[in-house]
Amino acid sequence: MTGSRQVLAPRLHDRFLEFLRGPGWRRVAVARRAGAALLAGIALVLAIAPGADVGGVPLVVLARDLPAGVTLRAADLVVRQWPADLIPAGAILEVAVADGRVLVGEARAGEPLTDVRLAGAELASRLHGSPDAAAVPVRLADPDVATLLVPGSRVDVVTVGPKADQPVVLAAGAVVVAVLRPSEGAGTRGRLVLVAMPKAVATRVAAAALTEQVAITLR
């Protein structure tokens, strides 16, 4: 047995030396096979590891670039798989939740849609800083004023008083939520602006906007 061990060791040693002295392509081929086997092993471990995220989480992203103030439709949205640890807070997970809502800011294709990008009571409360805030649509008497407004602009909503030099302030310190895109057939009518204000004032502004000319002054 001792003699066979003494013969075996030199043979393995000689074979290894012979491999090293052999053609370079042989060594490269063996190295590539070893690397491929290692990568396959790593992939298998990651696939069966506990908590591995195989397909991600479906969430709603924009299908194309969109301007601020547009009303979202199902064709503007698409569901994509997103890594679970990269999902933003308030992400929209279903197309139906965003369909028909107003996009408050310009957005890019592929951007995940979140609740703060959609006009509504939640955003009105956030921007105004009041839990009882409401968003009121106001059609501006001067359409050019809309170009000066952005979401977050602090404004006063005013209307004509009994005398021309005595305007009535309907809502002081209101906040612009969104400036809507001009609708087809709107002609020369002013743009619609969603403005956040306390609910107690919102009803008064909404009623005045139906029968009176309403304007906005920037603070």
Q: Which residue shows structure tokens 């920037």?
A: 218
**pLDDT tops 60 at residue 203:** yes
pTM: 0.62
Per-residue DSSP letter, 71: B
Using alpha carbons, list the distances in angstroms from residue 15 to 11, 30, 38, 165.
Answer: 6, 15, 24, 105
Distance between CA 126 and CA 130 in Å, rounded?
7
pLDDT single digits (tens) 49-67: 554 445 688 999 999 999 8
Which pLDDT does position 97 carry in this prediction? 92
Q: What is the mean pLDDT of the chain?
A: 78
Give CA angle at 150 (171, 93), nearest 5°.
Answer: 105
First and final CA of the chain: distance in angstroms? 99
Residue 122, domain member (yes or no): no
Residue pair 146/140 in contact (Cβ under 8 Å)? The answer is: yes
48, 65, 83 - which closes a domain: 48
Residue 146, domain member (yes or no): yes
Number of domains in the chain: 3
What mean pLDDT do residues 81-98 have? 90
68: domain CATH number is 3.90.1210.10
Q: Are residues 158 and 87 in the same domain?
A: no
**pLDDT tops 60 at residue 126:** yes
Boundaries of domain holding 76:
57-117
**Percent of the chain with pLDDT strictly greater than 70:** 71
**Percent of the chain with pLDDT strictly greater than 90:** 19
pLDDT single digits (tens) 27-53: 555 556 666 666 666 666 655 555 444
Using alpha carbons, list the distances in angstroms from residue 76 to 12, 58, 100, 202.
Answer: 67, 16, 11, 31
Distance between CA 172 and CA 218 in Å, rounded?
10
Distance between CA 66 and CA 103 in Å, rounded?
8
Tokens representing 62 are 């924009």
Confidence of residue 16 (pLDDT cuts 50, 70, 90): low
Q: Are residues 17 and 96 in the same domain?
A: no
Nearest Cα residue to 139 out of 201, 174, 103, 186:
186
Confidence of residue 111 (pLDDT cuts 50, 70, 90): very high
Which pLDDT does position 208 carry in this prediction? 82
Residue 111, domain member (yes or no): yes
Which pLDDT does position 191 carry in this prediction? 80
Residue 124, domain member (yes or no): no
Residue 123, domain member (yes or no): no
Which pLDDT does position 8 carry in this prediction? 47
